[in-house]
């Protein structure tokens, strides 16, 4: 008898199947040629690597790493590098497909990629992590800004991207800031990059709420995940006057009907505290946060958290997907039937993809943009994506903004494939 997969592996494997299901449905909605779907049901190429690392105690460990180039019809393959124990290839394939679509949704001249190393960064010393990141770049042999541009993701940060950029530049013997994204500003990273996704999610909530006649400043919200994305959304919502009634991290969450003090929770988390240890609010589980009594729900932690079993208990009327794939296709059907509006991940969380394009533009031209310029352009771009998606949903007569966004993206990819003579 085969051993059942751990829950996380099942979820990540499902997320790729879910992505392919969305691809097929959206292709039907957008009347996309079958040859495009055929080309997009698997990545263009996958590189699998073995990284030998000398650990601090002198022993040798060999880590597995991957880079998935999903589709580069619209431009150079681009996006994050995930370091996570138990990382699987299906997870990376799904994320690389999401990036392909996300770049197309945002009108960015970029293809979709994702890379990763199977390792628990918390179990590595700083030196071991640095050697691993440098080894990843040496084995990847990146060909520069016009081929494949790795960025950050879970388990990587501006610091790790700084090491990767340095390794690349040492190998090439030149400066090439556009070769790596999400690096520290002093090395050419964009101002506003760290907050871009959370700010983008917040801006799409404001724009959609406006369309729905919902006043965010008098509404309530719940946020799952209190990291770079969830923490930023919670703070920006709180600043508008919105009552943020529940937030959680991996250990659980806190709830207060009167609204939480997000500033105090941020300081608590910055000092290394778990949210459940925060005094002055009721402890709740991660699952409770998703079904909190509130108008706006932001799942901003991991994939597949709103599923067939709990979808009926979700009370929110507007869901903004901060994480990638947090609502399964089955749950989405149930929620749409109940009239819930879902801002899909490829629109809601494409803020970092947009600011990575700004980072690239600055890197290629040797210029520096002010934070005001970055945020103004981000707002224009992401609200434009939301509005375009909402109009397309009307024209295509679909209730699903996800299908409309994907269909729009697929049309652009189809056109690029046609002009390239691929189909």
Q: Which residues are catalytic?
A: 114
x/- letters, 36..75, toward ligand NAD (CB under 6 A): ----------------------------------------
Binding residue (CB under 6 A) for ligand NAD from 225, 329, 344, 363: 225
CA distance 378 to 192: 10
Please write down the HEC assignment for all residues of the chain.
Answer: CCCCCCHHHHHHHHHHHHHHHHHHHHHHHCCCCHHHHHHHCCCCEEEEEEEEEECCCCCEEEEEEEEEEEECCCCCEEEEEEEECCCCHHHHHHHHHHHHHHHHHCCCCCEEEEEEEECCHHHCCHHHHHHHHHHHHHHHCCCCCCCEEEEECCCCCHHHHHHHHHHHHHHHCCCCHHHCCCCCHHHCCCCCCCCHHHHHHHHHHHHHHHHHCCCHHHCEEEEECCCHHHHHHHHHHHHHCCEEEEEEECCEEEECCCCCCHHHHHHHHHCCCCHHHCCCCEEECHHHHHCCCCCEEEECCCCCCECCCCHHHCCCCEEECCCCCCECHHHHHHHHHCCCEEECHHHHCCHHHHHHHHHHHHHHHCCCCCHHHHHHHHHHHHHHHHHHHHHHHHHHCCCCHHHHHHHHHHHHHHHHHHHHCCC
Q: Is there binding between residue 358 and ligand NAD (CB under 6 A)?
A: no
The minimum distance between CB 170 and ligand NAD, in angstroms, equals 27
Using the contact rule CB under 6 A, the part of the chain among 202-210, 223-231, 365-373, 383-391 near ligand NAD is 223-231
The minimum distance between CB 60 and ligand NAD, in angstroms, equals 29
x/- letters, 270..289, toward ligand NAD (CB under 6 A): ----------------x---
Instruction: Tell me how far apart the terminal alpha carbons of the chain are, to the nearest angstrom.
Output: 44
Using the contact rule CB under 6 A, the part of the chain among 40-48, 84-92, 222-230, 382-390 near ligand NAD is 222-230
Using the contact rule CB under 6 A, the part of the chain among 35-43, 64-72, 226-234, 412-420 near ligand NAD is 226-234
Q: Is there binding between residue 88 and ligand NAD (CB under 6 A)?
A: no
The residue among 27 and 108 lying less far from ligand NAD, judged by its C-beta, is 108
The minimum distance between CB 181 and ligand NAD, in angstroms, equals 10
The minimum distance between CB 230 and ligand NAD, in angstroms, equals 6
Binding residue (CB under 6 A) for ligand NAD from 224, 304, 328, 341: 224
- Report the residue number whose CB is nearest to ligand NAD: 227
Q: Is there binding between residue 121 and ligand NAD (CB under 6 A)?
A: no
CA distance 228 to 399: 30
Using the contact rule CB under 6 A, the part of the chain among 36-44, 220-228, 236-244, 309-317 near ligand NAD is 220-228
Binding residue (CB under 6 A) for ligand NAD from 66, 226, 255, 406: 226
Question: Phi-psi category of 144—alpha, beta or left, where left has phi over 0 and alpha has psi -120 to 50?
Answer: left
Q: Which of residues 287-346 bind ligand NAD (CB under 6 A)?
A: 300-302, 322-324
CA distance 175 to 143: 14
The residue among 130 and 249 lying less far from ligand NAD, judged by its C-beta, is 249
The residue among 36 and 247 lying less far from ligand NAD, judged by its C-beta, is 247
Q: Which of residues 240-269 bind ligand NAD (CB under 6 A)?
A: 248-250
Q: Is there binding between residue 81 and ligand NAD (CB under 6 A)?
A: no
The minimum distance between CB 140 and ligand NAD, in angstroms, equals 20
Q: Is there binding between residue 158 and ligand NAD (CB under 6 A)?
A: no
**Helix axis angle, 371-396 relative to 196-212, nearest 10°?**
40
The minimum distance between CB 421 and ligand NAD, in angstroms, equals 33
- Number of residues forming the site for ligand NAD (CB under 6 A): 21
Q: Is there binding between residue 352 and ligand NAD (CB under 6 A)?
A: yes
Q: Which of 47, 36, 121 is nearest to 71 (CA)?
A: 36
The residue among 16 and 226 lying less far from ligand NAD, judged by its C-beta, is 226
Interface with ligand NAD (CB under 6 A): 154, 197, 224-230, 248-250, 286, 300-302, 322-324, 349, 352
């Amino acid at each position: 008898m085969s051993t059942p997969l751990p829950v996380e592996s099942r979820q990540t494997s499902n997320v790729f199947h879910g992505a392919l299901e969305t691809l097929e449905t959206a292709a039907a909605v957008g009347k996309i040629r079958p040859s495009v779907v055929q080309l997009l049901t698997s990545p263009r190429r996958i590189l699998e690597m073995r990284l030998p690392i000398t650990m601090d105690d002198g022993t040798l460990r060999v880590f597995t790493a991957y880079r998935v180039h999903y589709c580069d019809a619209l431009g150079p393959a681009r996006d994050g590098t995930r370091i996570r124990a138990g990382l699987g290839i299906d997870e990376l394939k799904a994320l690389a497909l999401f990036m392909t679509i996300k770049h197309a949704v945002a009108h960015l001249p970029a293809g979709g990629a994702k890379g990763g190393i199977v390792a628990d960064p918390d179990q590595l010393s700083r030196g071991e992590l640095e050697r691993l990141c440098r080894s990843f770049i040496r084995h990847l042999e990146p060909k520069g800004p016009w081929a494949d541009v790795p960025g950050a993701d879970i388990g990587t940060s501006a610091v790790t991207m700084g090491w990767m950029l340095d390794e690349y530049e040492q190998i090439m013997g030149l400066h090439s800031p556009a070769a790596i994204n999400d690096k520290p500003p002093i090395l050419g990273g964009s101002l506003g990059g760290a907050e871009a996704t959370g700010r983008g999610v917040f801006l799409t909530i404001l724009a959609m709420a406006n369309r729905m006649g919902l006043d965010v400043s008098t509404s309530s919200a719940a946020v799952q995940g209190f990291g770079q994305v969830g923490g930023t959304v919670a703070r920006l919502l709180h600043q508008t006057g919105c009552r943020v009634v529940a937030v959680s991290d991996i250990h659980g969450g806190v709830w207060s009907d009167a609204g939480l003090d997000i500033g105090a929770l941020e300081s608590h988390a910055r000092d290394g505290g778990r949210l459940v240890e925060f005094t002055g609010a009721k402890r709740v589980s991660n699952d409770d946060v998703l079904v909190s009594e509130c108008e706006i729900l932001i799942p901003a932690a991991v994939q597949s958290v709103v599923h067939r079993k709990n979808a009926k208990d979700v009370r929110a009327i507007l869901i903004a997907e901060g994480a990638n794939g947090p609502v399964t296709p089955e749950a989405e059907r149930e929620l749409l039937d109940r009239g819930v509006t879902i801002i899909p991940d490829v629109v809601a969380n494409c803020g970092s993809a947009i600011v990575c394009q700004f980072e690239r533009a600055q890197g290629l031209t040797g210029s520096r943009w002010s934070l005001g310029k970055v945020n103004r352009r981000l707002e224009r771009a992401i609200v434009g994506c939301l509005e375009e998606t909402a109009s397309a949903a009307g024209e295509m007569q679909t209730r699903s903004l996800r299908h409309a966004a994907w269909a729009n993206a697929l049309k652009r990819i189809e056109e690029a494939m046609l002009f390239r003579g691929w189909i």
